[in-house]
A and B are shown apart, each in its own frame.
Chain A
Amino acid sequence: MLLSKTEIPPGTLEMLILKTLKRAGPAHGYAIAKSIQQASDEVLRVEEGSLYPALQRILLKGLVTAEWVQAGLKRRNRIYRLTAEGRKRLDTEIGEYRRVSQAIERVIEPA
């Protein structure tokens, strides 16, 4: 069976990123993607194409801040950090998501 890439809806992706930052603390883009991948037992693979726009969006909304941190002689990483606003938003998003998925569950439950 071909392991097709599972698409993560963009809204959910933002939630996952925020949760990752909360759980694992500040991290850069690559680390966030890897973390999501591992935490989901390799089911969810974050496409770079969706990761970066998502990061920009939560940066724009003020849910995270980003700063450059030196990592080694020639490289620096952009570290994302959750803000208070982001924390609040995360709780809201998770609550919302749970509500919706429970509703979906009820619908598809075998009669």
Chain B
Amino acid sequence: MHWLAEVRRRLVCLIRRDRLDRDLEEEMQSHLALLALEQQESGIDAREARRAARRQFGNATVLKESGRNVWTWQPVEEFVQDVRFALRAMRRSPGFTAVAVATLALGIGANAAIFTAVNAFLLRPLPFADARRLVFVSPVNKAKGIDGVTSFPEYLELKRRNRPFDAMGAYGTGYENLVGVEEPERIMFSRVTATLLEMVGAKPILGRRFLPEEDVPGGRHVALLSEALWHKHFGGRADVLGKPVQLGSTAYIVAGVLPAAFSLTIEPVDVWVDAGAENVDPNYSFLTVIGRMKPGIALQQAQADMSALNAHMPAAKDGWGLVLSPLRESYAGDARLGLAILLAAVAMVLLIACANLMNLMLYRGASRRKEMALRTSLGAGRARLIRQMLTECVVLSLAGGSAGLLLAHWGVRAFSAMTPAHLQPLGGFHIDGTVLGFTALVSLLAAFVFGMAPALRISRLDLNTGLKESGRSASGGCGRLGRWMVACEVALALVLLIGALLLVRSFGRVLNIDPGFRTDHLLSVETAVPDAFPDDKCVHFYSQLVARVESLPGVRAAAVVDTLPIVGVESANGLRLDGVPGDNHRVAGLRVVSPNYFSTMGIPIRKGRGFTADDRVGGPSVAIVNETMAARFWPGQDAVGKVIRIFRGGTAYKIPSVVIGIAANTKYFGLEGREWPEMFVPHAQLAYASLDLVVRTKVPPAATVSAVRRVIRGLDPEAVVARTRTMDAIVSDSLAPRRFSVSLLAAFALLALVLAVVGLYGVAAYAVAERRHEIGIRMALGAQRGSVLRLVLGEGLAATLAGVSIGVLGALALTKLLAGMLFGVTPRDPVTFAICGLLVAGVALAANALPARRAARIDPWTALRHE
């Protein structure tokens, strides 16, 4: 309590410092006067009395200081003083300050930018309530190829049997036509259980969530709108509640609006409908299940529980397992390795920058010896000097850090714009409190890293030599430290370069992957016809569309398919294999195509035949499978001629289809994706209402878009046209993450090299400048220019070689960490190592050569004269 009052008094005094000083001064003056009076009374004259009084009084300055020191916090005072000195020193040498702040801004800014991404993907809590307890519950069956999605009855079964969870919910997304509004469009919708919305804490901004009693088979069809859709189609009015919204052929009643900030998936969902009221088909697997673990249960335990439960279920015999994975990983898992590598890279760049600054400060230190000597002689201890210089470093570092934050802000905005929507983290990239804290921490650490050694060295001085005029620094040790620093910089830069080049080469290899079809001059137009169209009208529309588009000028061929390659949307269609004993249920990707799909796309048919116009309704049901499916489902046999029963809505597995051909594999999940069994069915025999029109053009694909649109509109004004993209753009998008990390890493590696080379040059130039005298003597004594060159180069060469060797060894050890991201290149690829090693060595030698040449051209006379 007293302590608090004391602190308050101190603070008040800090503010009214002047008054304190004046009071003390006046008080002491009057004390002096009284003392003088006392002296006078004993008979001494006035002036003598005053002198005696002052002698008795003692050192007024010291008195005042000790009086003042009672009130102030010594450490705070000193710190404020140090900061003022630091700012003054910065102003006095603007060149150094500019270089230092710029270097730090680059290094710290890069760290802040990458950390923003790390924070967004990996650290920031997911925007759900109790996010850490949420896990994905995925049924897996490797044999059937199912990984992750369940049907509604399966979900209910899971929910019933769950033990480690206190809540469970599920969701599944898809596309549907939004009709009954002014501008019908194709939207992304999500079926979601009422329990899931409750679990993640979704708070509607209007209306309510789903009620449990609605979320059962036969329940009411209720929908929640997204904020964006609400504004776009319903004017953001509150009277939307209770109104119907029509998706395809089903009408839903609007029960509420969810805020824009709410999302379960990275791509924004426009409408949520309750999952249970329909689509309870056990053969339709589309739901992703999320469970909330009971508080206090660890993931392993929950996993063990679920596996044990699963073992008791009959399906376990068929190879079904349950895998639990934390929500966070699923949203960010892929990015983890790339981000870790980038973070390591920017840390190395910052280390190099700090090493450069350390060297710079060591050299500057020579010119500050006089100042330090003066301070010491006035009473500053070594600790005080060190503290002062560290404060200067911290001020520099914080200034650099602030500038760096600005750079990071622009950088983050740039790469946020460059990242395609489906790769963004949930919640976007933001510089928030965590990033600011990290930046401050990094700035402080950097200050210590580059400031400690110079501070220690400069404060250790011999007063005598320091104060004398000719402050020529011997600094042989200084030079050695500088050269070791530079060797380390070269090593770090080399490691980064090797990593970057490995990734660049991997990227090149990936670009060369054969996607299984021809990607050039290919336009994709997403279309849909109203759900109300009967099958034959649908088929007629699309065959007409293909014919008319093919007749357009500039078009070579056209076809339709329900899902493009590369794009890779997870979906699994059930089928049964005829003539296979035991469990003949399988899962594969279903593609509904027009007859000329394979020829349009340039996909070769390996065996059997492709589809023709004869494969239509009324004719025998046919199918074509891809090589993976043929090899997996009928190992060792010829797939042509086999019969499969594909699950079709309405007829289940009734219809047998004969496999008439085997098509070559196409890459489905991106260029690097895994193989996936696919089966193709002619559109005429399975009338899907929404298909992708693919157009092989002779001219640039974008030029044909308007013509195609006109054809579609002309055929049927109710048809919907959604996205149009070129295949080149799709492939490019799929490569975006790899391209992004490669470009960043390459940029950082080059930055590191530039910094290292600048450091090298600086050390070499300084060494030459220092030794001018010595070189002058040598030359005056007869040394040839060549030998001087060799002398200077020799030292630089030693540092470079040391750096390159350490770098190569380090890279050999570290690049295996990159293995997850490499493609077609080994982590210890000798070509890459050789290229980078030679590049760095060459550049480093050049950096040494310039000062060396200047050294060789020193005129002995001038060198000897300028001490």
Contact = CB atoms under 8 A, between A and B. Distances in A.
A92 interface: no
Contact of A60 (B10, B23, B27, B57): B10
A25 interface: no
A61 interface: yes
Contacts of A60: 6, 9-10, 70-71
Given A30-B31, A48-B58, A62 B9 contact: yes
Contact of A49 (B23, B26, B58): B58
Interface string B52-64: 0000111100110
Contacts of B9: 60, 62
A53 B31 CA distance: 14
A99 interface: no
B23 A30 contact: no
Contacts of B62: 49
Interface string A46-61: 0111001100110011
Contacts of A29: 27, 31
B392 to A, nearest CB: 32
B640 interface: no
Contacts of B330: none
Nearest to B33: A75
B66 A52 contact: yes
Interface residues of B, number: 26
B35 interface: yes
Nearest to A52: B67
B28 interface: yes
B28 to A, nearest CB: 7
A56 B57 CA distance: 17
A87 interface: no
Contacts of B58: 47-49
B22 to A, nearest CB: 11
B35 A30 contact: yes
Interface string B520-537: 000000000000000000
B35 A62 contact: no
Interface residues of A, number: 19
Nearest to A48: B57
A61 B59 CA distance: 25
Contacts of B5: 62
Nearest to B64: A52
Contacts of B71: 56, 60
Nearest to A54: B70
B584 interface: no
A77 B9 CA distance: 22
A48 B30 contact: no
Interface string B522-554: 000000000000000000000000000000000
A75 B30 contact: yes
Contacts of A49: 58-59, 62-63, 66
Contacts of B26: 76, 78
Interface string B791-823: 000000000000000000000000000000000
Given A49-B62, A62-B6, A57 B27 contact: no
A51 to B, nearest CB: 9
B317 interface: no
Contacts of B705: none
A30 B31 CA distance: 6
A28 B34 CA distance: 11
16 contacts: A28-B30, A28-B31, A47-B58, A49-B58, A49-B63, A52-B63, A52-B66, A60-B6, A60-B9, A60-B10, A60-B71, A61-B6, A62-B9, A75-B33, A76-B26, A78-B30
Given A48-B31, A60-B10, 10 more contacts: A28-B30, A28-B31, A30-B34, A48-B63, A52-B27, A52-B63, A53-B70, A62-B5, A62-B6, A62-B9
Give 3 nearest A-B pairs by CB, closest first: A56-B70, A30-B34, A78-B27
